Structure 1
Amino acid sequence: MSQTPPAAAPTLQGQMFLFRKPELLTREKHAGLGISRPERPFGFAEAVRAVPLTVSEVATAMKHYPIIFADVKNPLPLAVVGLIDDDNLFVENTGDWDERAYVPGYLRRYPFALAADRGSDLSNPRMAIIVDEAYEGIQQGGTLPFFGDAGPSAEMQQAIDYCQQYERDRAITQQFATHLANYDLLADQVAQFTPEGGEAKPFARYIGVEEKRLQDLADDKYLELRKSNILPILYAQLMSMGNWRTLMDRRARRYNLTGDEILQPRKTA
């Protein structure tokens, strides 16, 4: 009598932003482990300048960050969190995120993520939970355990549910990017800053909505964008550009910079 062979274990391929040692989460390897609050909760993100956003986050994120797009051909939205240096200006000296600012979902789901098993049916891939084993909060007997007696702990199940929701949002965001790429509305742009008593100088290049192109868009194309719910995202991106100034001011306050110093890389030992 023939037997159905057991499913092969999922395989992990590729790289994941901010994950230093991504591994499949399994009872065999991670039983007894859990998460406790590390000394620097957001230390894993303190050296990044931008963080991925889903389209559902843009309306909130625009209040705190300049929002840009990753690429003209694949315009996924990003929240800018650092300038000039590889310093995240929203991670405080304590390692906490600025409590007044929105925390992007990509960071809130860390150190977990949902990934497709590359060895499964591509039309209906199996999904697996990934954990960054390098995260400082992972400990033997952690406060929030990965597993209970019958499977994932209640806390881990909440993390899994959030990863699943985030993956749905990510898929919608990819659809948005694919659709937006069909319109010639994005362009390379330059952010400028004018120090007190000085002249305007560029400090960042980014991809954003070209406002005149949007204004000149044919009526039928404009209607297409409205019906596809893309317009609010584009206008939110444009409105977020005022945050370049507040981000530069944040850098100046953090490092006590004035005049042209604000536009210069910091000297580090």
Structure 2
Amino acid sequence: MTVQLLFYQDAKPVTSDRHRDVSIKTGHSYAFARNVNSVPVTAVEFAQAAAEYPIVFAGTEQSIMPAVILGVKQTENLYVDDAGNWSGKYVPAFVRRYPFVFSSDASGRTFILNIDESFEGINREGRGERLFDSDGQQTRYLKEVLGFLQDYQSRFQRTKRYCDLLKSLGLLQPMQAQFNLNSGERRSLAGFMTVDRQKLKAIDAADLQAMFGNDELECTYLHLHSLRHFANMLERMPASGPDVEDRSEPAPEATSAKAKRETGKATGRKGGDETDVRLPQA
């Protein structure tokens, strides 16, 4: 059984026997996401996510997914403050679905609803929303949760097909972002890919028309334009944070007077501490 994990610590299948008297206190903090530097996003989220986060592609040879970058360090989320508030305007669906998550069998066609039992809002004192009524039937809240996750899973599969297309067309290139901190320390963010602009311009007319018709071309340019937010993200760091210099050719518009990014092909070049973008297995 496969469970999409990242900040899930103790995911268990939701059943009326185990969770009949369980309630979920809503309006909880996002402290659970404080130590993740990236989370997956689906293609339908690109329009909103690209307005404030860098969107990249990451994963394994078998499974590539888009992700938004949230921090430079491995356990850093610049969008969750000390009080657990999410300071960005858009909260990715992967985060909003917590503490619920689907697990799947080996075929990937059967899904079971799970809940992270380590979630601070889970209780048996009736605080918040019940999962089951006194007869063991699903409450309206639980049905809405199931609907949200079913919709998410459908969008996830569509996004996977989009990523498979980018891969089959040879449009993805390994990249790394390098940051020069004011302290003199050098950090690298690696383990992700971006679309190669020149290769995108060179694809044949039939593939281009197909991408346009499926809104995949729009998603691709939203991704490319979002890379400018590496600079905006760094401005969230303390005043002693990094000064980043941009020497990249593909997206000169991604620079700013206060902070700039440096990206280049991942060819084994390292400097200082290197951080990877790692996504959960789907």
Q: Normalization by structure 1: what TM-score?
A: 0.80
Instruction: Supply the RMSD in Å over aligned alpha carbons.
Output: 2.9
Matched residue SS, 2:6? coil
Equivalenced residues, count: 243
Using the alignment, how far apart are the partners of 2:59 and 2:144 within structure 1?
Answer: 33
Tell me whether 100-109 or 125-134 shows the greater mean CA deviation.
125-134
Tell me whether 70-79 or 160-169 shows the greater mean CA deviation.
70-79
2:130 maps to a residue whose letter is: P
Post-superposition CA distance 1:83-130 (Å, at most 9, x none): 1351111111111111x4200001111111223345xxx49x443211
Tell me whether 71-80 or 207-216 shows the greater mean CA deviation.
71-80
Paired position in structure 2 for 1:208 = 194
Paired position in structure 2 for 1:142 = 127
| Equivalent residues of 1:71, 1:207 under 8 A apart | no
Tell me whether 161-170 or 210-219 shows the greater mean CA deviation.
210-219
Identity of aligned residues (%): 23
Is 1:41 aligned to 2:29, yes or no? yes
Instruction: Select the structure of larger CA radius of gyration.
Output: 1
Paired position in structure 1 for 2:41 = 53
| Equivalent residues of 1:69, 1:78 under 8 A apart | yes
Is 1:93 aligned to 2:82, yes or no? yes
For structure 2, which runs of at least 5 residues remain unmatched after alignment?
A: 245-258, 262-271, 274-282
Post-superposition CA distance 1:58-96 (Å, at most 9, x none): 111001110000147443100111113511111111111
CA separation of 1:35/1:14 partners in 2, compared to 1, >3 Å: closer, same or farther?
A: closer
| Equivalent residues of 1:75, 1:180 under 8 A apart | no
Q: Normalization by structure 2: what TM-score?
A: 0.76
Counterparts of residues 4-153 of structure 1 (less than 5 Å)? 12-13=1-2, 16-37=5-26, 41-71=29-59, 73=61, 74-98=63-87, 100-118=88-106, 122=107, 125-140=109-124, 141-150=126-135, 151-153=137-139
For structure 1, which runs of at least 5 residues remain unmatched after alignment?
A: 1-11
CA separation of 1:215/1:192 partners in 2, compared to 1, >3 Å: closer, same or farther?
A: farther
Residue 258 of structure 1 and its aligned partner are, at CA, apart by 6.3
Paired position in structure 2 for 1:5 = none
Q: Which has the higher helix share?
A: 1
| Equivalent residues of 2:58, 2:65 under 8 A apart | yes
Counterparts of residues 224-243 of structure 1 (less than 5 Å)? 224-243=210-229
Using the alignment, how far apart are the partners of 1:194 and 1:111 within structure 2?
Answer: 36
